[in-house]
């Protein structure tokens, strides 16, 4: 450091005006050599900032299965979460004791019970007692919120490695309101609209914004077609962790051991004419049906995040970079419009335009809101849910965010240099939306945001 300061002093002697023009005191106060954290090159400090990026090194999920009828109908929730927690550790060869926190997005189960189940799952997965676990509930975006919470904690310096996960067994915990509703809710329309069935909010979006039944059914067909094609080509194998479990015969009680590794709600032969035969579920003359809505599902997912400098030191491949996150509020009566508000907010905070985004994973809670958001933002259909979405794959509420992160990042990796930025977004019950921006992990070299130094002058930034 002394040599660097000496070099600064030599340069400053040439830069200072002559002694006849200014007093010695003025010379000393105007320009002076100083110790600089950047060391001998300005690129050093910029590289440190780059090393502080929060990156994803692994993202996995279980298959998503139809609740009460699918492959996980007889699987305990903690037995869904444990395999994906184990996978992110085993596949990266990370010492589990290095994880600073496990944050699990989950919605329907009683809070304290689910918190205990998540802690139990961490033990099943091989984590020591020193690793803490907590849950987070922002309804349909809970899995994404868990990832964002971990990223924020790493940015804040609370720890360097964490897991954002999601868990939902809609077989075990169906959607229901427990206890009485405060009669005060009738005094305020917005509060009352928080209690609207989600299907009614779908009907409201369709009616208010003119989304036709034909458009909704066509979107559902496309979702199944793309998900079936992705399954057939093996695309989901990179993200799905097989789960060894059991199926119980409801008539005999006999247990059959099975390994579940494929989403079981995808219908490859779905057609517009078939969907057109289904009756509206929520409104007599409505357009929302079981065929153009997301599927009620069971599953789990987990995303391993850490500082880039830690990943580089460990030699772990970087799947993606967490860039920004935004959660917004919207009218509860049309909660499905959430992504149309959240996506621009997240993209703007990343310093990007919508056209800069190469892939979108937008949760298909209902075809009505999915079609609306696509049209409102004028998004290229070829960029959205390229491997299908929740109408085909399923929507276990607390898992969807983590599932979408895994699906997005693995697809971005496959596409390579043609795909740099991706967005995950979803609408949220009671009137919200959430979105996050990710950058492909290997699209830049390790000095991408460092100043390019043509010649090594060995001067700190203070001498420039």
Spell out a b/e string for 45-77, using b for 16 or more CB atoms within 10 Å of the CB, else e.
Answer: bbbeebeebbbbbbbbbbbbbbbeebbbbbbeb
Please say if 395 is a catalytic residue: yes
Q: Is 140 a catalytic residue?
A: yes
Contact present, 300 and 84 (Cβ < 8 Å): yes
- 57: nearest Cα among 449, 435, 410, 436: 410
Known catalytic residue at 404: no
Catalytic residue among 395, 404, 410, 419: 395
* Distance from C-alpha of 340 to C-alpha of 374, rounded to nearest angstrom: 8
On the CB side of 288, CA atoms within 13 Å amount to 28
Which residues have C-beta within 8 Å of that of residue 336, sequence separation ≥ 6? 201, 202, 205, 365, 366, 368, 369, 370, 372, 373, 427
**Pick the catalytic residue: 36, 65, 140, 373?**
140
Q: What phi and psi values does residue 424 have, to the nearest 5 degrees?
A: -115, 135
CA neighbor of 366 nearest in space, from 207, 168, 242, 247 = 207
Closest to 135 in 3D by CA, of 120, 147, 118, 152:
118
DSSP string, 69-123: TSTTTT--HHHHHHHHHHHHHHTTT--GGG--EEEEE--SS-HHHHHHHHHHHHH
How far is CA 300 from its chain centroid? 13
CB 88 within 8 A of CB 49: no
In whole angstroms, give the CA distance from residue 418 to residue 438: 14
Query: What is the rounded CA–CA span in Å between residue 193 and residue 268?
Result: 36
- Residue 424's H or E segment, with its range, is strand 421-428
What count of Cα atoms within 13 Å lies in the side-chain half-sphere of residue 169? 21
Helix H or strand E segment including 301: strand 297-307
For residue 259, the Cα-to-chain-centroid distance in whole angstroms is 26
Rounded to whole angstroms, what are the CA distances from 314 to 42, 46, 66, 446? 26, 21, 38, 15
30 to 13, 17, 20, 423: CA distances (angstroms): 12, 10, 15, 48
Q: Which residues are catalytic?
A: 140, 395, 427
């Amino acid at each position: 450091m002394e040599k660097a300061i000496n070099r600064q002093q030599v340069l400053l002697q040439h830069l200072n005006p002559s002694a006849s023009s200014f007093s010695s005191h003025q010379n000393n106060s105007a320009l002076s050599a100083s110790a600089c954290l950047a060391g001998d090159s300005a690129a050093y400090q910029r590289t440190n900032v780059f090393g502080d990026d929060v990156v994803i090194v692994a993202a996995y999920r279980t298959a998503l299965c139809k609740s009460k009828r699918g492959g996980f109908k007889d699987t305990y929730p903690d037995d869904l979460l444990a395999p994906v927690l184990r996978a992110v550790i085993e596949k990266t060869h990370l010492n589990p004791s290095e994880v600073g926190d496990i944050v699990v997005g989950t919605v329907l189960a009683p809070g304290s019970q689910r918190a205990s189940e998540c802690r139990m799952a961490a033990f099943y997965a091989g984590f020591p007692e020193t690793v803490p676990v907590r849950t987070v509930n922002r309804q349909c975006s809970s899995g994404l919120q868990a990832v964002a919470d971990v990223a924020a904690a790493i940015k804040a310096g609370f720890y360097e490695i964490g897991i954002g996960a999601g868990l939902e067994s809609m077989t075990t915990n169906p959607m229901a309101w427990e206890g009485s509703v405060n009669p005060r809710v009738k005094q305020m329309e917005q509060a009352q609209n928080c209690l609207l069935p989600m299907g009614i909010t779908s009907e409201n979006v369709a009616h208010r914004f003119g989304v036709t039944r034909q458009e909704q059914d066509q979107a559902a067909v496309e979702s199944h077609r793309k998900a079936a094609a992705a399954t057939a080509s093996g695309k989901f194998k990179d993200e799905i962790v097989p789960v060894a479990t059991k199926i119980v015969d409801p008539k005999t009680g006999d247990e059959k051991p099975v390994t579940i590794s494929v989403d079981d709600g995808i219908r490859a032969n779905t057609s517009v004419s078939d969907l057109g035969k289904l009756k509206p579920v929520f409104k007599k003359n409505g357009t929302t049906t079981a065929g153009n809505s997301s599927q009620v599902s069971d599953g789990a997912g987990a995303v391993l995040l850490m500082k880039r400098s830690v990943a580089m030191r460990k030699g772990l491949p970087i799947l993606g970079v967490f860039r920004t996150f935004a959660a917004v509020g919207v009218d509860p009566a049309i909660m499905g419009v959430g992504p149309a508000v959240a996506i621009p907010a997240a993209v703007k905070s990343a310093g990007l335009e919508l056209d800069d985004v190469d892939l979108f994973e937008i949760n298909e809670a209902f075809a009505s809101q999915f079609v609306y958001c696509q049209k409102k933002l004028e998004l290229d259909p070829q960029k959205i849910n390229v491997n299908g979405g929740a109408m085909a794959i399923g929507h276990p509420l607390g898992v969807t965010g983590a599932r979408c992160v895994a699906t997005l990042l693995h697809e971005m990796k496959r596409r390579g240099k043609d795909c740099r930025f991706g967005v995950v977004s979803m609408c949220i019950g009671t009137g919200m939306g959430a979105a996050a921006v990710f950058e492909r992990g290997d699209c830049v070299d390790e000095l991408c945001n460092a100043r390019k130094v043509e010649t090594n002058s060995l001067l700190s930034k203070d001498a420039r």
